[in-house]
A and B are shown apart, each in its own frame.
Chain A
Amino acid sequence: MVSKFRVPARWREMDQLQREMNRLFEGSSVKHTSGSHKYPAINLWANEEGQIIKAEMPGIKADDININVTSDTLTISGSRTHDKAVENTRYHRQERGYGSFTRTLQLPFMIDTGSVEATFKNGVLDIRLQRAESDKPKKIAVKSE
């Protein structure tokens, strides 16, 4: 039997725990948004020097992918085409999507548009962006008098 007087103390513990949990989740800046069905799905990594964008785009040829950058946006576009229809083809199952796509991303900082590198390997696009020199955080020395 739980005594009436002990309950508030436990609640305080619970509150404390909840605050800690909240802080933990707020602190991690990784946002998981598996609910957004944009194509291609992307992952984004960043540090002070630049950022890496990865996207899974299976079955697309590197030549069919277009990447456009401005100083703070990046646009990936392209299309995935159907297999050439052979005569008397009968589909048993069709789960893969086809069509053209365009996706524009707002970048978290200004980038050096001249040094963007993109590679496409095994259906995974890897874009490396360098942060613009003018946009990098500057350290300000504090003088003592």
Chain B
Amino acid sequence: MAKKENKSLEIPKQEVIKVDEMERTRSRHCYIPKTDIYETEDEIILVADVPGADQDSVDIALEKNILSINAFVETDVPASYDRIYSEYEGGDYQRSFRLSDEINQNNIKAVVSNGELRLHLPKAEPAKAKKIKVKAA
């Protein structure tokens, strides 16, 4: 029964095949970080799994409407040990999203903790839903 519950946790890492027709110069594995995106009343929140990356190794760029996330992960291989069993490979992360115009691009906040990147993308003022009061005549 417990097995059924965490089935969604078991999806293996997915490797980047080609990003924007651009090829990579680093000879490392590169993965697409699994990402949740959800929207609240004031902001859009993007949460991405980047295990191994910290705040210094995550690089976020916003050019025009393209938000790109790059994380460079240095995998430390234990010295004087032999790897005897392996289920995952360490590597970088790369992913881009096209943002809609309704994001206030000057107020984006990014936090990395426990290998999880959390981006807060505040909505621009006009995009917020306006509530119109109906007055009784």
- A-side residues, CB < 8 A to B, are 29-34, 36-39, 41-47, 51-52, 56-62, 80, 83, 86-102, 108, 120, 122-124
CA distance A46 to B82 in the complex (A): 5
- Chain A contact surface mostly: loop
* Contact in complex: A86, B40 (CB < 8 Å): yes
* Contact in complex: B2, A34 (CB < 8 Å): no
Provide the B1-32 mask, 1 if CB < 8 A to any CB of A, else 0: 01001111111110000000000000000000
Q: Which of A45, A51, A59 meets B116, CB within 8 Å?
A: A59
Q: Which of B6, B37, B82 meets A39, CB within 8 Å?
A: B6
* Contact in complex: B36, A95 (CB < 8 Å): yes
Given contacts A122-B51, A123-B115, A123-B116, contact A91 B37 (CB under 8 A): yes
* Contact in complex: A122, B54 (CB < 8 Å): yes
Given contacts A39-B9, A60-B114, A123-B51, contact A95 B87 (CB under 8 A): no
**A38 contacts which chain B residues (CB < 8 A)?**
10, 87
CA distance A99 to B115 in the complex (A): 17
Given contacts A51-B81, A96-B36, A123-B116, contact A43 B9 (CB under 8 A): no
9 A–B pairs (Cβ distance < 8 Å), ordered by A: A44-B85, A46-B84, A47-B81, A59-B47, A60-B114, A88-B41, A96-B34, A99-B9, A100-B6
Q: Could you tell me the distance in whole angstroms from the C-beta of A72 to the nearest C-beta in chain B? A: 15
- Chain B contact surface mostly: mixed
**A120 contacts which chain B residues (CB < 8 A)?**
114
Q: Could you tell me the distance in whole angstroms from the C-beta of B43 to the nearest C-beta in chain A? A: 10
Closest 8 CB pairs of A and B: A123-B115, A97-B8, A58-B115, A97-B9, A45-B81, A123-B51, A37-B10, A56-B51
- B-side residues, CB < 8 A to A, are 2, 5-13, 34-41, 44-45, 47, 49-54, 77-78, 80-88, 112, 114-116
* Contact in complex: B34, A95 (CB < 8 Å): yes
**B52 contacts which chain A residues (CB < 8 A)?**
56, 122-124
Residue ID in chain B nearest A128 by CB atoms: B78
* Contact in complex: A41, B12 (CB < 8 Å): yes
**A98 contacts which chain B residues (CB < 8 A)?**
8-9
Among A39, A96, A99, A108, the most chain B Cβ lie within 10 Å of the Cβ of A96
Given contacts A34-B87, A102-B2, contact A45 B10 (CB under 8 A): no
* Contact in complex: A42, B87 (CB < 8 Å): yes
Residue ID in chain B nearest A99 by CB atoms: B6
